[in-house]
């Protein structure tokens, strides 16, 4: 049992076992790793038995009896990442999506692409939408590595008699356009409640498995103030 652990520790970073290498095999080592995880999460999140098991594992590896050492050991065997977000684990926030949700997300993306390409025209809100493409230059304030550019802004001069007023427009991808009420995606979004905005926090819905789409693929809900303002 311990040989597997020490071999994983000695392995170079690019040759670590996969994260699930010590899980779901029903072995004593799996229980030890689970104890290390519980101990690394801090007080109130592990039992006395898990603490004792984790400390024994740390002793055998010549490490200090602290939660930080447990964290470092989990990273060393490839179970956790060096930037593992412990807050997500402490609060039990799900980090994966069920297969049925991923399948429906793929279908939604395919439908959005077909609609954007003009192959399908089943938009139930088509009668109330106004095509503003070509009227504005829309700008998104996002980094180069942004996965989904789903909102942008634009501005236009109001013209003569407006006192040099400028109207600001806000454009938001209408992602819900293709989400079926009562479907797996809607149920999962309701369960999660919101996306988390921090380093590597899980989103409310699966990210696209294809290219970056969003504003280019989905219809856009455009908002603007009911009155102009001066800048």
Q: How many residues can be counted in the chain?
A: 231
Q: Rounded to whole angstroms, how far apart are CA atoms 153 and 74?
A: 44
Q: Rounded to whole angstroms, how far apart are CA atoms 229 and 231?
A: 7
* pLDDT at residue 231, rounded to an integer: 35
pTM over 0.85: no
3 state SS for 170-196: EEEECHHHHCCCCCHHHHHHHHHCCCC
* pLDDT at residue 158, rounded to an integer: 82
CA-based nearest residue to 152, from 141, 166, 167 = 141
Q: Rounded to whole angstroms, how far apart are CA atoms 189 and 179?
A: 10
pLDDT tens-digit map of 213-229: 455 555 555 554 444 43
If you average pLDDT over residues 54-82, what whole number do you get? 92
pLDDT tens-digit map of 115-165: 766 666 667 777 888 888 788 888 888 777 676 777 888 888 887 777 788
Q: Exposed/middle/buried for 97, CB within 10 Å: 0-12, 13-18, 19+?
A: buried
Please provide residue 152's backbone torsions phi and psi, each rounded to the nearest 5 degrees. -155, 170
Q: Rounded to whole angstroms, how far apart are CA atoms 129 and 111?
A: 18
Sign of torsion, CA 227 169 192 87? negative
Domain assignments of the chain as residue spans, ordered by start: 2-90, 99-223
The answer to whether the CB of 73 falls within 8 A of the CB of 61 is: yes
Higher pLDDT, 171 or 217: 171
Using the predicted structure, report yes or no on whether residue 84 has a pLDDT greater than 50. yes
What ranges in 61-208 are assigned the alpha helix state H?
67-76, 86-90, 99-116, 184-192
Beta bridge partners of 169: 154
């Amino acid at each position: 049992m311990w040989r597997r652990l020490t071999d994983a520790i000695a392995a170079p970073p690019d040759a670590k076992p996969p994260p699930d290498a010590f899980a779901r095999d029903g072995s004593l080592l799996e229980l030890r790793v689970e104890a290390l995880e519980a101990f690394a999460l801090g007080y109130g999140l592990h039992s006395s038995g898990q603490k004792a098991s984790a400390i024994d594992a740390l002793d055998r590896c010549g490490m200090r009896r602290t939660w930080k050492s447990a964290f470092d050991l989990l990273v060393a065997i490839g179970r956790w990442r060096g930037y593992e977000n412990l807050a997500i684990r402490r609060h039990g926030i799900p980090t994966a999506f069920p297969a049925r949700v991923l399948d429906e997300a793929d279908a939604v993306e395919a439908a959005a692409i077909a609609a954007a390409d003009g192959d399908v025209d089943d938009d139930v809100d088509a009668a109330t939408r106004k095509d503003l493409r070509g009227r504005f230059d829309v700008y998104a304030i996002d980094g180069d590595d942004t996965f989904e550019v789903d909102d942008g802004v634009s501005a236009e001069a109001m013209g003569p008699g407006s006192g040099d007023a400028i109207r600001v427009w806000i454009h938001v991808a209408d992602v819900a356009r293709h989400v079926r009420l009562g479907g797996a995606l809607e149920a999962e979004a309701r369960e999660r409640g919101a996306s988390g905005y921090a380093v590597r926090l899980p989103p409310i819905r699966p990210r696209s498995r294809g290219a970056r789409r969003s504003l280019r693929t989905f219809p856009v809900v455009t908002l603007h103030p009911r009155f102009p303002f001066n800048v």
